[in-house]
Amino acid sequence: MAPTRLVENYHSATHHERRIPPRIEVWDETLRDGEQMPGVHFSPAEKVRIATALSEVGVSVINAGIPVVSEEEARAVREVAGAGLKAHVLAAARTVPADVDAVIRSGATHIAIFVAASRVHLKFKLKMSEAEVHAAALTTVRQAKDAGLHVSFVTEDTVRAPFDFVEKLYRDVQEAGADRLVVADTVGMMTPLTFRWYLTEFQRRVKPKDLSVHCHNDFGMATANTLTAIECGARAPHVCVNGIGERAGNAALEEVVLSLETLYGIRTGIRTEKLHDLSRLVEELSGVPVAANKALVGYNAFSHEAGIHTHGVLANALTYEPLQPGTVGRQRKMILGKHTGKAALAEKLKERGISVPDPLLVELLRRVKTETESQSKSGLRKFLHYYRSMFEAPGLSDGEFWALVEAVGIRPRAP
């Protein structure tokens, strides 16, 4: 898993530009932000299963949810907090005293207090002034600290908020006792270059004792931005298994961890060989299929069909694989199809001790290509239609909603 010499040389040359903390604490949001993905719902028992797996894989902090959301959510957080996990169990709260009280009752040792910061959020969502947000933040941070909790303070949409307001708010909540400050790119609009500038300026102005980041994937840059933040000194990156979450999701746990381990040569404390099993568990319990081409845990991440690729991999896996499949608990697959070459067929035949002359191999290859090119796609199309019907309109159907409306006694107005 050591970096290649090229990567080693690059990072050695740029070491003076990086401020990577000596210890990374992976903060997992699968049970909170991941569950906020439309159509996803984890029962208390499922949350405990996922939290246990996260703890066993080596995650440092697990956000179990927002206890004030519902009675079931409060029970789920209590059960995760009482599961005896090695990881720190965190619960989230708005800057509302009742929310903080719910976290205190849950048994979680850590709390993330969050509030929106950008003008668009304050004006159209919260309908609060900057002064009101500031006052509510200080009140709830002090409340949580008085209760003995480890306090992280988060603003939604940090990077689109006025920087002077961000500076004052974060400096004051840190002075009030916040242990960790979290910068959020809530709509995934940062690029690595702009995020580097932002975090450098944030640290110059605020001087956080402990910096964390929460990156969304709206433009496909959540992992890259998270790695940039770690280079800038962020110690607790927020991640979700399989990158699930609101809209396009969050920085993927497996991508951030393996990038740090393989490309940076940084040990994260994560048992990477368990990441594939963790991915499949979350896939099953969330009901969100992992994309075939998903990095590291996708079904095709270590599969090869093209003749040039299979020939290269059979000669030396490093030709077309940046790391060994076993690093993430995977196995390499050679796919037989239209693009298959003779080398893959010869390797397949070896499984049964068969060696054939080249003319027979050429004929077998011709038939393999013909067979796969003639295969029907009807089954795949049926699956895609079903998949689209499930994810284009998750949650309750119109019929189910109006049946509930009628069940609670709401009647349509007379014309």
- Whether the pLDDT of residue 129 is over 90: the answer is yes
- Report the candidate in 334, 171, 233 with the shortest Cα–Cα distance to residue 19: 233
Q: What pLDDT is recorded for position 81?
A: 98
Decide which of 142 and 304 is more confident.
Answer: 142
Band of residue 340 on the pLDDT scale cut at 50, 70, 90: confident
When pLDDT is averaged across residues 270-292 and rounded to a whole number, the result is 97
- Give the whole-angstrom CA distance, residue 202 versus residue 204: 5
Residue 13, CA atoms < 13 Å, CB-side half-sphere: 6
Distance from the Cα of residue 178 to its chain's centroid: 24
Q: What pLDDT is recorded for position 17?
A: 64
Most confident of 229-238, 309-318, 327-336: 229-238
% residues pLDDT > 70 (the chain): 95
CA dihedral 7, 10, 14, 20 (to 10 degrees): 0
Band of residue 5 on the pLDDT scale cut at 50, 70, 90: very low
CATH number among 3.30.565.10, 3.20.20.70, 3.40.50.970, 3.40.1010.10, domain 14-286:
3.20.20.70
Band of residue 16 on the pLDDT scale cut at 50, 70, 90: very low
Q: How many residues are there in the chain?
A: 415
Q: Which residue has the tokens 């081409």?
A: 293
Q: What pLDDT is recorded for position 14?
A: 52
- Whether the pLDDT of residue 207 is over 60: the answer is yes
What is the end-to-end Cα distance of the chain in Å, rounded? 70
- Give the whole-angstrom CA distance, residue 33 versus residue 197: 26
Structure tokens given for 182: 């979290």
Q: What angle do CA 49, 52, 56 make, to 5 degrees?
A: 140
187-198 tens-digit pLDDT = 999 999 999 999
Band of residue 280 on the pLDDT scale cut at 50, 70, 90: very high
Taking the model in full, what pTM does it have?
0.89
- Whether the pLDDT of residue 414 is over 70: the answer is no
Average per-residue pLDDT for the chain = 92
Looking at the DSSP bridge assignments, the partners of residue 214 are 184
Q: What pLDDT is recorded for position 344?
A: 83
Q: Is 238 left (phi over 0), alpha (psi -120 to 50) or beta?
A: beta
- Whether the pLDDT of residue 8 is over 80: the answer is no
- Whether the pLDDT of residue 15 is over 60: the answer is no
Q: What pLDDT is recorded for position 2?
A: 46
Q: What pLDDT is recorded for position 1?
A: 44
Q: What pLDDT is recorded for position 6?
A: 45
| Residue spans per domain, the chain | 14-286, 304-373, 378-407
Looking at the DSSP bridge assignments, the partners of residue 106 are none
